[in-house]
Amino acid sequence: MVIKAADMLIARRADTRARADFATWKMMAKLNGASALPMEAQNFLTAYKKLLEQMDDAQASEATIQLMYRTYYSEMGGAGAAPEVPARSREPVADSGNVTAFRRLPAKPKPGASGPNAQRPLPVALIFGCLVVVYVAIRYYWR
């Protein structure tokens, strides 16, 4: 069976989407947010939990991702059965077990903003004074 380039492109996109969605949904389930997920996601997570009773986490994850991949492939318009995606684009599902909240990084110092040769911004009063002098000079010149 010859696989068209368009179908292979769809296959890669479907595989990437399936892996990303599964990782997101799995994390949402760990954070007790599975009820906020769409029904399709909840169905895939239910299938994952059933597979988890029969096999270890890595195998259950991969089997669920393959199920999602085949579904996404047909939804995206792939012709026929979903082809096997090359292994180079696959990455194992990372499961760190702990979740950390996002934190803002401290602001980066501007280059040259510190040290003895740093330029200081003009004070507001000096700028205002210059504007007043320009205004008075223009008014005096027009009389």
Average pLDDT per consecutive 10 residues, the chain (143 residues; last block may be shorter): 67 86 85 80 86 87 86 78 62 56 69 58 84 94 83
Instruction: Identify the pLDDT of residue 89.
Output: 43
Residue 101 has a pLDDT of: 64
pLDDT of residue 90: 47
Instruction: Take residue 79 and report the two structure tokens written for it.
Output: 């012709």
d(CA 33, CA 39): 13
For residue 119, give every residue at least 6 positions away whose Cβ sits within 8 Å of its Cβ, in sequence order, or none. 112
- Both tokens assigned to 22: 């599964």
Distances from the Cα of 128 to the Cα of 120, 121, 131, angstroms: 17, 14, 5
- CA 47 to CA 22: how far, in whole Å? 12
The pLDDT assigned to 45 comes to 84
